[in-house]
Structure formats: C-alpha cells, structure tokens
Amino acid sequence: MDIASYFGNLFERYSIYYNTSKDVVILNENVDIMAEFKDVHGRTFLSSKDVIDSYEINEICYVKRAKKVDILSLSNYTDFLKKAVDVYVQPKRGHMCTYITGVLVTENHLEDDLISSIKKFKYSKSFFFSLHGWCEIRLLVINPKKEQIITNKPGKKVIKFYNFR
C-alpha cells in the first residue's frame, strides 16, 4: 500500500470515533493527523445530569509522516510525546487514564536496532498513586509499503486499528 492511500484510510477510520484534524503544529512539532477520543463511563440516579460516579478514558493520537526514521529521530519524537503528556494530560478525580499514541509512518527500511528500540520503549506515569489516573505512551512505527507495523508493548493493543485493510 502506498503511503498516501494509507494516510487516507487511516484518517477515515479515525473520523468515525475521533475528533480529527490535519496538518497541525503541536508543541513545535508538525503533525499530519491529530485525533482525540474521550470515553466517559458512569452511573446516574434521577436524571442523566445526576452522576453518582464516573470515570473517563482519553486517547490522543499524533500521526506523523517521516522520510526516514532512525534512532535520533525516534528519540526526538518520543521526547515530543513525553512533552505532550505533561501538557495535555489532565489528572483529576474521575480521570482514569489517557493514552498518548504516537504513530510514525515511513517508507524507509527499519533497521534492527531501531526495531529493538521501538519495542523496548516504555513510558507511563501515575498521578496521585493512580487515584487521579495514569497515562501511557503507545508507540507505533509503520511502513505501509512493506505492510510492517512495529510497536512497543502498549501499542500492541491497538495494532489492529492500524492494519492495511
């Protein structure tokens, strides 16, 4: 699959469930697709406004096209994702978790040491002993040409969403 078709498909898929925007600059980083999702679960009593308890799960996805992905560019991108955690995650009562999903799409060959770095990447943060929730970074590097998806451990949970249908 060529990269343009993959981006088109991915944007359509995001549009069903996420609030999406294209070509945005976030924290001085150019991002091709940004998608946000908020899921609120709760129980109500008399009316839908009378919430007894609730919790929210958020996901923010940043998809970026990269000409070449190497250890350095990957490190820069993960630094950007960590910064996004500090700026955009809002821990509070009722916040359960926020996933920051960073997706790099490239047509270049992915070296073995890079693949190993992606797989080993791990970042999560608890807020107030998890009572105000936590956040986690999912990292995916995708080569549509070779139909190859490399992810870190948390990223495996969403791998189906990024397949090459």
Q: Please state the closest distance from residue 144 (CB atom) to other proteins, in A.
A: 27
Residue 142: which of 124, 157, 121, 164 has the closest Cα?
164
- Of 40, 71, 87, 115, the residue at the interface with other proteins (CB under 8 A) is 40
User: Binding other proteins by CB under 8 A: which of 25, 28, 50, 67?
Assistant: 50
Q: Contact between 100 and other proteins (CB under 8 A)?
A: no
Strands 134-143 and 148-151: antiparallel
Binding residues among 56-95 for other proteins as defined by CB under 8 A: 93-94
Alpha-carbon gap, residue 81 to 2, rounded angstroms: 26
Using rule CB under 8 A, residue 44 touches other proteins: yes
Token representation of residue 17 = 């469930």
For other proteins, the binding residues in 124-163 under the rule CB under 8 A are 130-131, 133-134, 154, 157
DSSP state of 11: H
CA distance 27 to 65: 17
Distance CA 100, CA 82 (A): 9
- 28 vs 47 by CB, closer to other proteins: 47
In angstroms, give the least distance from the CB of 57 to other proteins. Answer: 9
Contact set with other proteins (CB under 8 A): 17, 39-55, 93-94, 96-97, 130-131, 133-134, 154, 157
